[in-house]
Amino acid sequence: MKSLFQLYIQQFKTTFATMFQYRASLVIWMIGQVLEPLVYLIVWSTVSNGNGGSIESYTTGAFVSYFIILMLVNQFTYTWVMFDYEYRIREGFLSFALLKPVHPIHSDIADNIMSKSITLPVLTVIAIVLGLAFHARLSVTPWLAVLFVPGLLLAFALRFLLEWTLAQSAFWTTRVSAINQIYFFLLLFLSGQIAPLSILPRAIQIAAKILPFYWTIGFPTELLLGKITLVGAVIGLGVQVIWLTIAVFLLRLVWRLGVKAYSAVGQ
């Protein structure tokens, strides 16, 4: 337990140092993280204004706050492990990680936490500026705002485990970018990134609520926005816990099979 604690501290330091070494890349990456929701914010505001100021239950101001909160939730929950993993396997770095007495997922968790402690404050400032510039309208419902906290944490845990499991596909194929693209396609349409789920066609809504994607981004966003009933929120948290359990099981299974299939490449 003590060694695990030390590992986290060490990884925090490493990540911190790395991020300051690559400041320019960090800024470029964050521009992308802001720009995508910003573009949808502008597109949907335009549509809403042309439609008399609202689409179904979303006014123009609500669209603005939706995409700004979504930007923050997305920043909180996203990972980049799928992009790293193929490299780790191809270059043989995973072999070193396997020699360590702790599961390699721990250094990824620590890496993720540290990285976000740096990027989230910056992004929060950007979010506030955008909120003022685009006249966001936000009326927080106290109970839902309280439930937003566990909802967001569960969303992060779920997305982290799912994407870490997905990254394991590199054990079997070198065409990871195609697999990632399929994942991002599903994420775009089913998580609420392209539009609030409630204005999408019913078939997409049903698929989104059965599959895990919505629960990693759209659900916490709508919680803070107050677009969910209290009962719906509690049920939602339950669905998150169920998916989290499935994700843990899936990760352990895929990891065990993957390590078996892994034959060290590299030095």
Partner 1 sequence: MSYFRLVRVFFRVNLVGEAAYRINFFVNLFQSILGLGTALLGMAIIFSFTNSLGGWSPAEILALVGVYIMIGGIIRFTIQPGMEHLIESVRDGTFDFTLTKPEDAQLITGISRFGIWEIINIGLGFVLLVIALVRLGGSIGGLQAVEFLAMLLTGSVIIYSFFLILATLAFWLVRVENILTIFQSMYEAGRWPVSLYPPWLRYGLTFVIPVAFATTVPVEALTNRLNWLTLLVAFVLAAVLSIVSRAFWKLGLKHYSGTSA
Binding site for partner 1 (CB under 8 A): 22, 24-25, 28-29, 31-32, 35-36, 38-39, 42-44, 46-47, 50-51, 55, 133, 175, 177-178, 181-182, 185, 188-189, 194-195, 199-201
CB closer to partner 1 out of 33 and 95: 33
Least distance from C-beta 90 to partner 1, angstroms? 15
Task: Say what angle helices 60-77 and 218-225 make with each other, to 10 degrees.
Answer: 130
249 residue type, one letter = F
Least distance from C-beta 198 to partner 1, angstroms? 13
Cα–Cα distance between 47 and 260 in angstroms, integer? 52
Phi–psi pair at 134, nearest 5 degrees: -105, 10
CB closer to partner 1 out of 50 and 92: 50
CB closer to partner 1 out of 18 and 177: 177
Gyration radius of the chain over CA positions = 20
CB closer to partner 1 out of 51 and 245: 51
DSSP state of 84: H
Least distance from C-beta 43 to partner 1, angstroms? 6
CB closer to partner 1 out of 1 and 133: 133
Least distance from C-beta 18 to partner 1, angstroms? 13
Helix (H) or strand (E) run with residue 55 in it: strand 54-55
Helix (H) or strand (E) run with residue 59 in it: strand 58-59
For the chain, the maximum distance between any two Cα atoms, rounded to a whole number of angstroms, is 64
Least distance from C-beta 194 to partner 1, angstroms? 6
Residue with tokens 């573009």: 39
